[in-house]
């Protein structure tokens, strides 16, 4: 498979979906909000964008299956599966906050081989493919070279529906706020991972994520020279629903803090 050729088509598709979402943001009303669960929001914008993406991806790679957030289709493929989050950061979108994205990844058997994250409001398209490096709007990107946790800016996501591990999380948060340049929470895990890949953050950690939240971002970070593991330092991201993504240099120290409490 020519992943380099495919990535260009997927990136363009992500931009098209992003243009639709951007247009809808100008007229969106909170009366269109639906609830999938506690603080788990969705709207017709998510569903329409997903249908648009799925239809186009099915034409690009007819043999592939789909894992999608809004479940407009969920049919597993024998070898290939698209992993799609049509609007990562729905809560931001609904409240008029500017950070949300389209996230599309391709998985071959158990390996993630392609990833695109399009941050809509800044018109930033991050993309990467296996052994092809990571890119932002046509320019090669790489993770930060900073080696010190004390000089690092980190990102995370706050628990919003499963609060069983909240105290552990707050202990990690408390310690890291005192030994780093700070922690940010922008509300889109896909964007957080893209920002690690291009060196804006040295690291990102979060739990209770789904595959479509992190699949594309994992490809970006890995191809940009970073490291991605779960809280135990293993590669079972989807099963554990956890991720620690770093520039690799700070990985041991960040994992040490997290594992002190988890």
Q: For the chain, what are the domain ranges?
A: 3-141, 149-259
pLDDT band at 29; cut points 50, 70, 90: low
Is the pLDDT at 72 greater than 90? The verdict is: no
Closest CA to 97 of 116, 81, 119, 80: 119
Q: What is the pLDDT at residue 21?
A: 95
Which residues make up each annotated binding site for Mg(2+)? 69, 85, 87-88, 213
Cite the beta strand spans of 25-122 per DSSP E.
34-37, 40-42, 65-68, 80-88, 101-108, 111-119
The lowest-confidence range among 84-88, 94-98, 99-103 is: 94-98
Name the strand (E) or helix (H) holding 57. helix 44-60
What's the rounded mean pLDDT across residues 130-156? 98
Return the CATH fold of 3-141: Fructose-1,6-Bisphosphatase; Chain A, domain 1 (3.30.540)
> Using one digit for the tens of pLDDT, what is the confidence trace for 33-53?
776 655 455 678 888 999 999
* Residue 123 in tokens: 């018109």
Is the pLDDT at 138 greater than 80? The verdict is: yes
Is the pLDDT at 79 greater than 80? The verdict is: yes
pLDDT band at 32; cut points 50, 70, 90: low
Number of residues written out for the chain: 262
* Residue 124 in tokens: 């930033």
Q: What is the pLDDT at residue 37?
A: 57
d(CA 211, CA 76): 14
Return the CATH fold of 149-259: D-Maltodextrin-Binding Protein; domain 2 (3.40.190)
Which residues make up each annotated binding site? 69, 85, 87-88, 213
d(CA 213, CA 188): 8
> Using one digit for the tens of pLDDT, what is the confidence trace for 144-168?
999 999 999 999 998 777 788 899 9
Q: What is the pLDDT at residue 63?
A: 94
The lowest-confidence range among 153-162, 166-175, 186-195 is: 153-162
Query: What's the half-sphere exposure (Cβ side, CA atoms, 13 Å) at 204?
Result: 35
108 strand-pairing partners: 80, 111
Closest CA to 146 of 259, 258, 255, 246: 246
Give backbone dihedrals phi and psi of 228, rounded to 5 degrees, phi first.
-130, 125
Decide: pTM greater than 0.85: yes
Handedness of CA 78, 80, 85, 86 (dihedral sign): negative
């Amino acid at each position: 498979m020519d992943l380099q050729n495919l990535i260009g088509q997927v990136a363009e598709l992500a931009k098209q979906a992003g243009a639709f979402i951007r247009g809808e943001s100008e007229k969106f009303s909170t009366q269109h909000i639906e609830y999938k669960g506690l603080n788990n929001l969705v709207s017709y914008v998510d569903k329409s964008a997903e249908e648009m993406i799925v239809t186009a991806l099915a034409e690009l790679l007819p043999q592939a299956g789909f894992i999608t957030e809004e479940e407009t289709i969920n049919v597993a493929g024998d070898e290939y599966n698209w992993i799609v989050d049509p609007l990562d950061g729905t809560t931001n979108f609904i409240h008029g906050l500017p950070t949300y994205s389209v996230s599309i990844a391709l998985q071959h058997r158990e390996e993630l081989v392609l990833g695109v994250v399009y941050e809509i409001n800044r018109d930033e398209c991050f993309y990467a493919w296996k052994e092809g490096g990571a890119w932002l709007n046509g320019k090669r990107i790489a993770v930060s070279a900073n080696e010190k946790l004390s000089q690092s800016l980190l990102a995370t996501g706050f628990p919003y529906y499963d609060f069983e591990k909240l105290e552990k999380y707050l202990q990690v948060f408390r310690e890291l706020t005192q030994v780093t340049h700070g922690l940010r929470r922008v509300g889109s895990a896909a964007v957080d991972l893209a920002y690690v890949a291009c060196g804006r953050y040295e690291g990102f950690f979060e739990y209770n994520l789904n595959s479509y939240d992190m699949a594309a971002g994992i490809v970006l970070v890995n191809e940009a020279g970073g490291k991605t593991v779960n809280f135990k330092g293993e590669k079972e991201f989807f099963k554990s629903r956890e991720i620690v993504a770093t520039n690799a240099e700070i990985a041991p120290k960040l994992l040490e803090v997290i594992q002190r409490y988890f």
